[in-house]
Every structure is written in structure tokens, then in C-alpha cells.
A and B are shown apart, each in its own frame.
Chain A
Amino acid sequence: MAQITLTNVSKSWGETRVLKPMNLTIEDGEFVAILGPSGCGKSTTLFLLAGLYAPSAGEIAFDGHDVSRVDARDRNVGIVFQSYALYPNLTVRENIAFPLRFKSVGKPETARRVEEAASLVQIGALLDRRPSQLSGGQQQRVALARALVKEPNILLLDEPLSNLDATLRIAMRAELKAIQKRLGITTLIVTHDQIEAITMADRIICMNNGEIAQIGTPDDLYRRPNNLFVAGFIGTPPMNRVKGHATGRVLKVADESFQLSADHSGDVTFGLRPEDISLVAPVDAPLSGLIASVEPMGREVFYTVDTPAGPIHALEYGETVRHATGASVGLTWKPELGLLFDATGDRLGGLHPDLSHSADSRTAALQPAL
């Protein structure tokens, strides 16, 4: 169990900087997900924590002790690799016992801890098999038992679920979370799957281009994204993003003008999640358009609406398809759910466009939208 602190940690391979200086604190017992697209530096961060890479600069500390120059074998971390990395020549029992070989643990103690770890991940019956005789899910459990058997300070999971089939992945998600909570072990999981991050983690570190885009609870990232990257990366289908321009209290999007809740000037992007949009009669709606496509998805219906501001995606819950392709609809939403981002992509906190049209564009708005 340990608290992890990263101070100005960066990593470069020769000329290429893969990780920009990073500051981060992970509390003891916390379950944190590092989320981001491939190549964003999330696995590099994990390997830096494991001690498999040395940071180019900065300090990594476990419980306040600098471990930046400590070898992987002396850090007492457990890691589960994406490929599981089980020793093919050893049995499951020997695989799990392997980390204990390097500690002064007696034979009876080793046997006891192996049994304990194996039963924790429910592979007690497989101990005498070899990795090649196991399914992907079973191999993953062995890898987890091997990581846990040495009672590590921190547990690192490198995309551990990505090689499992969909059903198993959902089951393992819940199980991993339960095991983590039971052992209270500081855990970091690297994933590119936002559902994994949102469902399992207490906090998410969202990374992009070798730097942290946002750290926060799943709800923070979903409802209060710091920037356009997080807004677009979290959520499926992604947030609608429409370019516009603000002058004083007036926001112009395409031909429409909206009243802003505060002053701002410059190019902006207006963001709105598809499920926050209600499709209503075109009259009185702040934005209207024609339905371009309808995709029933069982629990919800996914609409694409062609508006003067471009195509807008909207999700309606329930299986009934209420609007046909080509129908004219109005789009409305709760004003506080609409987000504004400035020209650099950072969110403008506390700024929302009102749904009523700005006074100076009354004439434009009176004209039919299409």
C-alpha cells in the first residue's frame, strides 16, 4: 500500500519526448485509470512507475521515498501485462510462486500464499497446468495472482482486459474492482477503453500527446471536461462540437445567434452531448433541421439532424422511433448542459448560451431554418 507522487516526471527516447513533465499524486488505496488513445504515453507512465523505464527527469516517490533510480525488482510492484507474460516453461503454481523465489519466503509460506492468491482469483483447480493449456481469461487470472502474491505496494494493470471477449471483460471488470477494494491496494490501470475507466476507477487520468489532459472523477470528465480533447474522447457517441464566434454577450453559430450568460470574445466551440438534446416540434426550438438518418439501437434511437450549424447527433431513450428520416424537427436542451470552449480548446467555465435567441438576430431567427 503506498501513496504515489510524480514530480515533473518526463521521458524522452533520444530526441523524441514521449512524456511531458507530469505532476501527479495518487492516494493510498486509490484505483486510478490512465485513459487515452494509443501513443499518448499511458503505458510509458506505467512502466516508469514499475521501474522498467527510468525517468529522463523528475522524481517518482512511493510514500514520500524517492524511487526514481530504484530497480524494478526492488520496488515491490505487481504488474499484469496485456499479453499476460506468463513463463511458458513453468506450471501455474510455479508462475504464481515465481516472485516469492526472490524473497526470503519459506516453502510452506510460499505454498500457502500461492493457494491464497489462486483462490482469490478462482484458479485453485488449475495450479498444475501450463499456461499453454489455459484460456485467455484463465491466463489473465494467473497473471493477476502472480502480481498479487508478493503483496505489492502498488498494482499496475496494462490493458489487462483488452484480450478478453466482451462478456468476460464485463465480468472481469467487476471482479477486478471488487478485489482491489477488498485488498485496498493502490492500483493503476492503463486502458484505451473509456467504459473500463469509468466503471472501475475512482479517478481517471486522461492523457493526450504525452501530457495529462485532465484528472478527475469519471463524472468530472464526463460532465465538466477541461478541454475539447477530453470532451470528444469521453462518451459514445461523442459530444457534438460546433464552431462559433462570440462577441460580447452574443454567440453566433452558423446563421443563429444566442445570448451568452457572460461576456466573451473570440472563436469558440459549442459542445453538447447527444443524450442531452430533446427533439421537439420545430416551432420555438433554438435550433431546427431535417432528420438525415435514424439508427434504432434497441434501448435508444440515434438520430442525425442536418441543421444550419452542421450535422448534430441526438440520442432518444426508448425503443420507439418517433421521427422519420426527412422530418423537420427542433432541437432543445437544458442551457446549463451546453458547454463552451475557447479558441485553444479550454472550457470556458460558467459560460452557457441561452436558448432564447439574441435580440439583434430576431429577424434572422424568424426566417425558416432551412
Chain B
Amino acid sequence: MSQTRLRAHRPARPLLYLMPAIALLAIFFLGPILVNSVIAFTDMGVNLRVGQFTLLNFERIVQRDGRIPMVLMTTLIYVGSTLFLFNVGLGALLAMTTTAIPEKLGNFFRGLWLLPRMSPAVLYGMLWIWIADPTPSGLLAQVTIALGLPTVNLRNDYPLMLVVLANGLVGASFAMVILTSSIRSIPAHLANAARVDGASEWGVLRHVVAPALSQPIRFITIYQALSLMTTYEYILLITGGGPVYDSTPYALYIYRRAFENGAYAYGAALALGLMVIGVVITLLQWRLTDMRSTFAAPKIEVL
């Protein structure tokens, strides 16, 4: 016993272990926000030169940019319909149906739905362009011709619907995976108890499955809403935001203003606006859905 010294528990050094994460956050998250915020108050263009510090960009957003109301409307329709119809609705439907069928078949279907997420965005975009192509080589055109129906040009006539479809079919797999595991974690006897208590299969879905999904759906809603508001790669690839600005949501509008029109400073100011919208929506949802209650106590004691 004389050689072995009993060492008292030493508190961990959280700062040391968190350093890599903090550094990454600072360089790739806080840094850009800071740079963006500064640029937003300048007149920077493609030559990257700052002539003066000004509030003109914000004045332009609020008063002079006539496209803003339409872009906001497009964003609302795009985010709202993609989110509720596909990213949550279809995802939940897929989770429920693929867990109700035999396990192997369910796994197969879920794997199938994950495929577009794994394929490169450009390839996926090309696929949709081919589907929507109005010439006789397009997939939809081939179907309409075979059925003797008039040809529709989706990219031109229904661009927003097309981007909602393209984004939604990829986006649904996120909720599908999360909700599948939520459904699997419901104790089997809970459904049996409901059946014995008089519930039909719909009743089981409503009283046992739905309550178990409400918490993860809250998380998916908030997460996917933010992600839909800020990403635009499929839209850029499939419709380019057009015709004109018909399928341009806010995030793509920022890109087009900044890089198509060369108005860097104006783009930065718009981006700042998107950030404010994102923070407001997050805080609102946090408040409305009591997200804190979903937090679990840590499993290990560090400090």
C-alpha cells in the first residue's frame, strides 16, 4: 500500500477538449459572420474595393428593391410546402409504412429513398432536368406523348413545383430515418395495450405512434426549416431560379444578387437579413414547442 498513492479525482479541463470545436466554429462560422456583417455596411462590388461605409444596402432592401416581397413569398411557399408535404409529411409516412411491412422489404425501401441523398447533387439535378425536359426525349414528355396529352414544360410553367418536388424527395429521407428509429423504440406492448383497450389500427397510430413522434418531428421541423431556407443548390442546378425570378427563394436571391450582379455588399446585407430571420424562427419554435424538455441529462460526469 505504501507505494500506491490514492489520487484524488481531478476535474477535466473542458476548455482543452473543446478547443478544436471552438477553433472550427470561430474560423468557419463566427469569422464569416463577422466579415459578412462588415461587408454589409460597405459598397463592395466585384473589384472587392471598399469605397465607403454606408447604410444604403439596408435602405435598398427595405425601400427600393421591388423583388423582395415576391422573393419572400416564393421562400414561404418553397420552404413551407417542401417542409410540411415532404420533409416532415412524406418522411413520417415513409417511416410508418416501412416499419409496418416486413423488415427486409422496409429496409429495402428506406435504402432506395436514401439513394438520391448519396448521389452527387449535379447528377440529381441533371436527372430532374431530363424528367422535366419538354422535348420528346424528356421522361415526362414521353409519358404525355404516349398518353396523347399535351406536353408541359415544368421548368417554365411550374418551376416552383418542380423544385419543391426535387428537394422534397431528397429531404424526406432525413425524417424517415429519424422517425423510423422513434417508431422502433416504442414498446411493442403499448400498441397491444391500445388494441385491448379498444383502439383500431388507426387508433394505435393516433394514440401510440403519433405521440411518440411529436418530439422528433419538432426537431426535424426546426432543423429542416433552417436548412431549406439557406440551401439552394438543386434550385440553381434545375431552374437556375427562373424563369426570371419565379423560382428564386431568398437564399438563391442572395447568391444571384451577389455573384450574378456583382453586388457583394448588397448580398452581404441580404444574408444578414436571412440570419436574423433564421434566429427569430428558431427562438420562436424553441419557445412554442418547449424544446428544452427534450434535453437529457449527461450520461457521464465530467466536471
Contacts and interface: CB of A to CB of B under 8 A. Distances in A.
Interface of A: 47, 50-52, 71-73, 75, 77-79, 81-83, 85-89, 98-99, 101-103, 146, 150
A51 B197 CA distance: 11
B85 to A, nearest CB: 26
B192 A85 contact: yes
A141 to B, nearest CB: 15
Contact of A72 (B189, B196, B212, B214): B196
Interface string B41-78: 00000000000000000000000000000000000000
Given A73-B199, A102-B197, A102-B203, A87 B190 contact: yes
Interface in B156-215: 187, 189-190, 192-200, 203, 207-208, 211-212, 214
A50, A73, A83 — which one has the most chain B CB atoms within 10 A of its CB? A73
A83 B186 CA distance: 12
B187 A83 contact: yes
B198 A101 contact: yes
Interface string B208-240: 100110100000000000000000000000000
A50 B196 contact: yes
A100 to B, nearest CB: 9
Contacts of A78: 196
Given A52-B195, A72-B195, A81-B189, A87 B211 contact: yes
A162 to B, nearest CB: 14
Contacts of B207: 87, 98
The 6 closest A-B pairs by CB, nearest first: A102-B198, A89-B211, A85-B193, A85-B189, A99-B197, A72-B195
Binding site of A, secondary structure by majority: helix, strand, loop or mixed?
A: loop
Contacts of A99: 197-198
Contacts of A71: 195
Nearest to B204: A73
A89 B195 CA distance: 17
A98 B192 contact: no
Given A79-B193, A81-B193, A85-B187, 11 more contacts: A47-B192, A51-B196, A72-B195, A73-B200, A79-B196, A85-B190, A86-B193, A87-B194, A87-B211, A88-B211, A102-B199
Given A87-B208, A88-B211, A89-B211, A73 B190 contact: no
Contact of A77 (B194, B196, B212): B196
B195 A81 contact: no
A102 B196 CA distance: 11
A73 B189 CA distance: 14
Nearest to A99: B197
B206 to A, nearest CB: 11
B198 A103 contact: yes
B196 A52 contact: yes
Contacts of B208: 87
